[in-house]
C-alpha cells in the first residue's frame, strides 16, 4: 500500500466494470462497462438523474450490492488489489479503515441508542486496536475538526439530540476517523437546508484536502459537485458518458446529455427573460431493453441513426484537454457549447396596471400545543407565521423562499384554507378568506384558488384513475357532468401536454413528471385566479423539472393566473419569479421584485442564502458567508430580529431586543433590518462572473 | 416542441384482464399463498357441493354399520357414537363455518371501518371517545365475552355473528384508524378538500380504498380466528342446536372416547378445522408477501 502512494498509482481504478442485478426476470445489466481512475487525494463527482447507476457504481466499489447485484465483467482495483477476488474477512478489514462511506440519511448510519462519541470511539478501537483513552481523545479531536461547536457536549449526546446538519458532520467525522484513502459519499447533503449544505460541502472539501483522501462524490446536483470536486463524471443509464476536469467539462461539455443537463438547469443569475430552460425530451430508458448503440440516441437532437445506433460507442479522449473523455461518436463534430439565449430578451410585463389579486396583510398563524395532563408540560405557542404581508397582481409569479421550518408551507396551508389563520387578512379578489377553512368557503372561492402539491407520489390517489381527480374537480367546481365533463378532462390533459387517453391510467403507470402534470391539470380545472404551488418541482429530476417549470410559466401567461410559488431553491426562484418574499422563522425579512432581492441591497439573510446556493458554473464567483448555528426553534423566536442569532452583520444589542422596522423603497422593496439602507446598498454583489 | 415528447415512452400495458383478477393471479408468485388458497378453496368447494359429495344425510343413524364403527368402504371415516357417518357430518359442518365466519368478519369490518375512519379522520374528542369504547371491549378476555353474549341471547348463527362483531370490530377499528391517520395527510386528500368534497366522501372514496392492502390480509386472518371461535363455541355447547353438524360440537360429543382409543371421530373434525384455519393464515401470508413486492 505504501509504495502505491509513492508511485502515484491510482487509489481506485475501474476497468470496464460491468455490473448486473439478477432477478426473477433474469440478468439485468445495469452498468455495461464503466472505467475511471482516481489518484490519491483526487475527488470525482458522479452526477446524473435518478436511476442512472451512480449509487450502483459506488456500492460496487465496496462490494456491497446485496444478494442480487454482482460484478460480471471487468475489474475494480482498490490500491492495486482486485476487489472481486478479495476474501470476505480481508474486505471487512478494509471497509471502515481504508474505505469509508457516507450516506444520504445520517440517521440510518448512526445508532440511535448509543451516544455519538461512543460510536466514534468504536472506529479506532475496532479497526486499529486503540485503547479507550486514546480513542476518546481522537474522537473529540475529530468532532472539533468537523467544526461541531463544543465537542465535549456533543460527545455525550444521542443522535436524535443533534440537528440534521450536525448528524451528517458526525457521520463525516466517523468516516474520516480511520484516515481512509478512499471516501465514498452518496448524496451527503441532499436532505439538508441550503445554508447547512454549503457548510458541509466546504467542510468536505477542506477535510479531504487535509487528509489527502480520494473522494467519490455522488450527487444529482451539479452545483455541489463544482464546490467539492476536481473532476466530474456524468452518468446516463449506466454509462459514464463524459468524464473530465470540472473546468473543461463545464466550459465545453462534449456529450449531448451533459449539454442537455446544463441547459435544463437554472443557474443562479439567469431568468426566464434571458435564458430559457431547454428540457431533455423523453425519459431514461429501462435497463432491461438496452439498444445496441448509444443509449441516449433516442433523446439526442444530434443523433445520426447510421452511426449512433449500430454498435457500442467507444469512449474517446479529447485531444488537448487532459483526461477529458466522452462516450459519443459525434463529440468532436459538435459546435462549442453555449448557454441557450432567448432570441429577443422579453421584458418583464409592466405589472402596475394589473389588478391586485392576492393581498396578504399582517397574517398570523400560531399553533398552540395542548397542555398535557400527565407530563404537566406547559402549553407553548409556535409562531409559524408572524405578521406576514405580501401582495400579488394578476398574471405574475410571487415566490416565497426560505429554509425548512421558515413557515412557507404553513402560508400555503392558510391560503388554501387547510389551516385557519390566527389573525390578519388574506384578500382574494377583494374578499377576505384568511380565517375561513376550505370546508366553509363558497364553491366560487374554492375554484378561484387551487394548489399544486410537492410530492408527485402522493398527489394522486393510487386507487383511482388519473382522470378521476380531474373529473371530480370539474364536477365540484364547475358543475360539469357527463360527456361535457369527460370532454373537458381530456382537454385539460392536452393543456398540460399529456395524451388525452391518459385519463384512464392509474397513477402508478405514470412517471413523476407526468403525475405532476396531472396535478397541474387538476388545479386548472376550476379556472383559478391564483395557483399556489408548494415546491412543485423539488422532487423531480432536473430535466423533468425544466419541463414542468416551462409548463407552469406557459399556462400562467396564457391564463393570466397568479402563481404563488413556494420553494427552497433560489436558482429556480430567480429563474421564474417576478416578485420574491424571503422568509425566516415565520417572518418576511425581504420582499421585492426579483431584481431587487437578488441584487444589493440585501437583507443579511438573503445575502447568506445566495452565498450558499451551489452554482453549476465554475466561472461564477461567489462570496462565502458561513452562518453559525442552526435556525432557532419556532418555539422561542428571538425577541428582536429573528435572524439576530446567526447574523454575520449583527450590529449589537439592538438586534436582540428590538424587532427591526422595514426599510421601504418607492418601488415596494422592503428589508426588515436595523442596518441603515445606505450601508446595505454599499454591499458588493454575492455573485460575480469571472468574465465580466 | 420538445415538451410534447415528454411522455413518449410509457409502460406498455400487459394484459386486458381486470385489475382485481390480475392481483389474484399474482398470488402464484408466493408458494405459501398457493397452498393456503388451495386449502381454503378445497373447503369452499366442499361446502358448496355438500349435498352431492356426501353419501349420507349427516343426521341419519346407520345402525347397520354400528356405532363408533372403524373406517370401511361404506363409511370412509367410520361412524360416531350415534352411528352417523363422520365424513358426511364434516362435509355438512363445513357449511356452518364457511357461512358464519365470513359473514361475522364482514359485519365486524363494517362496524370497525366506520369507527376507525371516524376516529382517524376527525381525531380530537371523536377519536378519544371511540377509542376508549374500543379499549373497554378489548380489555375483556375474548372467550368470556363470547360465552356471555351467546349464553345471554341463546346459541344461534345470528347470535354468533353478533358476538364476533362485538368482539372483533374494536380490533378492526384500531387497524383502520392507524391507516386513516397516515392516509389523511396525503396530498390527494388535501386536493379533495380543496375541491369541496364532503367528509364522508373523503373517508370512503379517498382514504378507505388505499387502506385495503392491510385490511385484506387482516380479514383473512380474522376469518380464521372466527372459525376457531365457532369451533370453541360449538365445543362448549354454544354452537348449533343438535343434531345439526358443527365441527366444535362433533368434537365435544365424542372426545370422551379418545381415552378409549377411538380417536377418529373427534380427530377428523379437529383436522378439518385446523386445515381451514392454516389455509386462511397461509393465504394471508401470501397476500402480505405479494403486497410487499410492489
pLDDT tens track for A301-347 = 888 888 888 888 888 888 776 688 998 888 888 888 887 776 655 55
Name the closest residue on chain A to residue B8, using Cα atoms: A282
pLDDT surpassing 90 at residue A565: yes
Q: Residue A279 is nearest to which of B2, B11, B205, comparing CB atoms? A: B2
Return the SS3 of B207: helix
End-to-end CA separation in angstroms for chain B:
35
Which cell is B126 given?
A: 371523536
Binned at pLDDT 50, 70 and 90, residue A4 comes out as very low
Q: Report yes or no: B206 at the A interface, CB cutoff 8 Å.
A: yes
Upper half-sphere CA count for residue B264 (Cβ side, 13 Å): 17
Q: Do A458 and B209 touch (CB under 8 A)?
A: no
Q: Do A544 and B210 touch (CB under 8 A)?
A: no
In angstroms, rounded to a whole number, what is the distance separating the alpha carbons of residues B44 and B91? 10
Residue from B120, B128, B124 nearest B189 by CA:
B120
In angstroms, rounded to a whole number, what is the distance separating the alpha carbons of residues A263 and A178? 41
Q: Residue A522 is nearest to which of B9, B191, B196, comparing CB atoms? A: B191
Q: Do A509 and B10 touch (CB under 8 A)?
A: yes
pLDDT, residue A351, reads 55
What percent of chain A is predicted at pLDDT more than 90? Answer: 30
Cβ distance A510 to A502 under 8 Å?
A: yes
Q: Which residues of chain B have pLDDT under 50?
A: 1-14
Which residue of B20, B179, B187, B209 to mutate against A (max A Cβ within 10 Å)?
B187
Name the closest residue on chain A to residue B183, using Cα atoms: A458
Q: Report yes or no: B8 at the A interface, CB cutoff 8 Å.
A: yes
In angstroms, rounded to a whole number, what is the distance separating the alpha carbons of residues A101 and A95? 9
Residues of A in contact with B209 (CB under 8 A): 461, 463-464
**Cell 430559457, residue located:** A276
Residue A654 main-chain phi, psi, to 5 deg = -55, -35
Binned at pLDDT 50, 70 and 90, residue A240 comes out as very high
pLDDT, residue B11, reads 41
Residues of B in contact with A497 (CB under 8 A): 3-4, 6-7
The tens digit of pLDDT for each residue in B15-62 reads: 566 767 777 777 777 888 899 999 999 999 999 998 888 877 877 777
Residue A668 vs residue A398, higher pLDDT? A398
In angstroms, rounded to a whole number, what is the distance separating the alpha carbons of residues B78 and B68? 7
pLDDT, residue B176, reads 96
Averaged pLDDT, A658-664: 89
pLDDT, residue A229, reads 92
| A435 contacts: CB under 8 Å, gap ≥ 6 | A420, A421
Averaged pLDDT, A501-519: 90
Pairing mode of beta strands A43-47, A231-236: parallel
Is this complex's ipTM strictly greater than 0.95?
Answer: no
Pairing mode of beta strands A214-219, A43-47: parallel
A453 vs chain B: nearest CA distance in angstroms?
7
Which residue of A285, A296, A415, A463 to mutate against B (max B Cβ within 10 Å)?
A463
Amino acid at each position: 500500500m505504501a509504495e502505491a502512494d509513492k508511485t502515484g498509482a491510482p487509489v481506485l481504478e475501474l476497468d470496464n466494470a460491468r455490473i448486473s442485478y439478477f432477478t426473477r426476470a433474469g440478468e439485468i445489466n445495469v452498468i455495461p462497462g464503466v472505467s475511471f481512475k482516481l489518484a490519491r487525494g483526487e475527488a470525482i463527482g458522479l452526477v446524473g438523474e435518478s436511476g442512472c447507476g451512480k449509487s450502483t457504481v459506488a456500492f460496487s466499489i465496496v462490494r456491497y450490492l446485496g444478494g442480487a447485484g454482482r460484478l460480471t465483467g471487468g475489474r475494480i482495483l482498490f490500491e492495486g488489489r482486485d476487489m472481486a477476488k478479495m476474501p470476505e474477512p480481508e474486505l471487512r478489514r478494509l471497509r471502515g479503515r481504508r474505505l469509508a462511506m457516507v450516506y444520504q440519511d445520517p440517521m440510518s448510519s448512526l445508532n440511535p441508542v448509543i451516544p455519538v462519541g461512543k460510536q466514534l470511539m468504536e472506529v479506532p478501537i475496532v479497526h486499529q486496536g486503540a485503547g479507550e483513552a486514546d480513542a476518546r481523545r481522537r474522537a473529540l479531536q475529530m468532532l472539533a475538526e468537523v467544526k461541531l461547536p463544543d465537542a465535549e457536549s456533543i460527545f455525550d449526546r444521542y443522535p436524535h439530540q443533534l440537528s440534521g446538519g450536525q448528524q451528517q458532520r458526525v457521520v463525516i467525522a466517523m468516516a474520516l476517523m480511520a484516515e481512509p484513502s478512499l471516501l465514498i459519499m452518496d448524496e451527503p447533503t441532499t436532505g439538508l437546508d441550503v445554508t447547512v449544505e454549503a457548510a458541509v460541502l466546504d467542510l468536505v472539501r477542506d477535510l479531504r484536502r487535509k487528509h489527502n483522501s480520494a473522494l467519490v462524490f455522488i450527487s444529482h446536483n451539479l452545483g455541489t459537485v463544482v464546490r467539492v470536486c476536481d473532476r466530474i463524471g456524468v452518468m446516463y443509464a449506466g454509462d459514464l458518458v463524459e468524464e473530465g476536469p470540472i473546468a473543461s467539462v463545464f466550459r465545453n461539455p462534449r456529450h449531448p446529455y451533459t449539454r442537455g443537463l446544463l441547459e435544463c438547469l437554472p443557474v443562479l443569475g439567469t431568468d426566464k427573460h434571458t435564458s430559457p430552460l431547454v428540457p431533455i425530451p423523453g425519459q431514461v430508458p429501462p435497463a432491461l431493453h438496452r439498444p445496441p448503440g448509444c443509449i441516449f440516441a433516442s433523446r439526442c437532437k444530434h443523433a445520426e441513426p447510421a452511426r449512433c445506433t449500430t454498435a457500442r460507442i467507444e469512449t474517446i479522449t479529447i485531444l488537448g484537454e487532459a483526461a477529458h473523455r466522452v462516450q459519443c461518436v459525434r463529440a468532436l463534430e459538435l459546435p462549442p457549447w453555449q448557454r441557450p439565449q432567448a432570441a429577443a430578451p422579453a421584458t418583464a410585463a409592466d405589472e402596475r396596471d394589473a389588478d391586485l389579486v392576492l393581498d396578504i396583510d399582517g397574517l398570523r398563524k400560531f399553533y398552540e400545543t395542548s397542555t398535557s395532563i400527565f407530563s404537566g408540560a406547559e402549553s407553548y405557542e409556535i409562531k409559524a407565521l408572524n405578521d406576514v404581508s405580501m401582495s400579488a397582481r394578476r398574471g405574475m409569479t410571487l415566490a416565497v423562499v426560505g429554509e425548512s421550518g421558515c413557515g412557507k408551507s404553513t402560508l400555503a396551508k392558510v391560503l388554501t384554507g387547510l389551516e385557519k389563520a390566527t389573525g390578519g387578512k388574506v384578500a382574494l379578489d377583494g374578499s377576505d378568506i384568511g380565517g375561513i377553512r376550505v370546508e366553509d368557503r363558497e364553491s366560487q372561492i374554492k375554484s378561484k384558488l387551487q394548489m399544486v402539491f410537492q410530492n408527485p407520489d402522493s398527489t394522486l390517489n393510487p386507487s383511482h384513475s388519473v382522470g378521476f381527480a380531474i373529473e371530480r374537480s370539474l364536477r365540484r367546481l364547475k358543475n360539469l357532468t357527463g360527456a361535457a365533463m369527460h370532454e373537458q378532462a381530456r382537454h385539460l390533459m392536452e393543456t398540460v401536454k399529456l395524451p388525452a387517453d391518459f385519463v384512464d391510467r392509474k397513477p402508478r403507470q405514470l412517471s413523476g413528471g407526468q403525475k405532476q402534470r396531472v396535478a397541474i391539470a387538476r388545479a386548472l380545472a376550476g379556472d383559478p385566479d391564483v395557483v399556489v404551488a408548494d415546491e412543485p418541482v423539488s422532487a423531480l429530476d432536473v430535466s423533468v423539472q425544466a419541463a414542468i417549470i416551462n409548463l407552469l410559466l406557459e399556462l400562467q401567461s396564457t391564463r393570466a393566473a397568479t402563481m404563488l410559488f413556494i420553494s427552497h431553491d433560489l436558482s429556480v426562484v430567480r429563474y421564474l419569479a417576478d416578485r420574491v418574499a424571503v422568509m425566516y422563522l415565520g417572518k418576511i425579512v425581504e420582499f421585492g421584485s426579483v431584481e431587487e432581492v437578488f441584487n444589493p441591497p440585501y437583507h443579511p439573510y438573503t445575502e447568506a442564502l445566495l452565498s450558499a446556493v451551489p452554482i453549476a458554473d465554475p466561472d461564477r464567483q461567489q462570496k462565502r458567508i458561513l452562518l453559525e448555528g442552526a435556525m432557532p426553534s419556532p418555539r422561542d423566536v428571538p425577541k428582536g430580529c429573528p435572524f439576530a442569532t446567526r447574523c454575520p452583520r449583527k450590529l449589537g444589542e439592538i438586534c436582540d431586543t428590538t424587532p427591526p422596522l422595514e426599510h421601504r423603497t418607492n418601488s415596494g422593496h422592503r428589508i426588515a433590518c436595523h442596518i441603515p439602507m445606505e450601508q446595505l446598498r454599499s454591499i458588493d454583489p454575492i455573485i460575480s462572473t469571472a468574465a465580466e | 416542441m420538445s415538451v410534447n415528447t415528454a411522455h413518449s415512452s410509457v409502460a406498455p400495458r400487459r394484459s386486458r384482464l381486470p385489475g382485481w383478477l390480475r392481483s389474484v393471479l399474482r398470488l402464484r408468485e408466493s408458494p405459501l399463498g398457493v397452498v393456503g388458497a388451495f386449502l381454503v378453496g378445497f373447503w369452499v368447494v366442499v361446502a358448496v357441493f355438500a349435498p352431492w359429495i356426501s353419501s349420507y344425510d349427516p343426521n341419519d343413524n346407520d345402525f347397520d354399520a354400528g356405532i363408533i364403527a372403524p373406517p370401511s368402504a361404506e363409511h370412509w371415516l367410520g361412524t360416531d357414537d350415534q352411528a352417523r357417518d363422520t365424513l358426511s357430518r364434516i362435509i355438512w359442518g363445513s357449511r356452518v363455518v364457511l357461512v358464519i365466519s365470513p359473514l361475522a368478519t364482514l359485519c365486524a369490518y363494517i362496524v370497525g371501518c366506520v369507527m376507525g375512519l371516524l376516529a382517524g379522520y376527525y381525531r380530537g374528542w371523536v377519536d378519544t371517545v371511540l377509542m376508549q369504547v374500543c379499549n373497554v371491549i378489548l380489555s375483556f378476555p375474548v372467550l368470556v365475552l363470547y360465552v356471555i353474549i351467546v349464553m345471554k341471547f341463546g346459541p344461534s348463527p345470528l347470535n354468533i355473528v353478533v358476538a364476533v362483531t362485538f368482539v372483533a370490530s374494536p380490533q378492526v377499528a384500531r387497524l383502520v384508524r392507524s391507516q386513516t391517520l397516515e392516509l389523511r395527510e396525503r396530498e390527494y386528500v388535501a386536493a379533495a378538500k380543496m375541491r369541496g368534497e364532503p367528509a364522508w366522501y373523503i373517508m370512503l372514496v379517498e382514504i378507505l380504498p388505499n387502506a385495503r392492502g392491510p385490511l385484506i390480509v387482516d380479514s383473512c386472518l380474522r376469518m380464521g380466528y372466527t372459525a376457531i371461535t365457532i369451533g370453541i363455541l360449538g365445543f362448549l355447547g354454544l354452537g348449533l342446536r343438535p343434531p345439526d353438524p358443527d365441527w366444535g360440537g362433533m368434537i365435544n360429543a365424542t372426545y370422551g372416547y379418545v381415552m378409549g382409543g377411538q380417536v377418529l371421530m373427534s380427530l377428523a373434525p379437529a383436522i378439518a378445522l385446523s386445515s381451514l384455519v392454516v389455509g386462511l393464515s397461509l393465504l394471508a401470508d401470501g397476500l402480505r408477501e405479494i403486497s410487499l413486492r410492489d
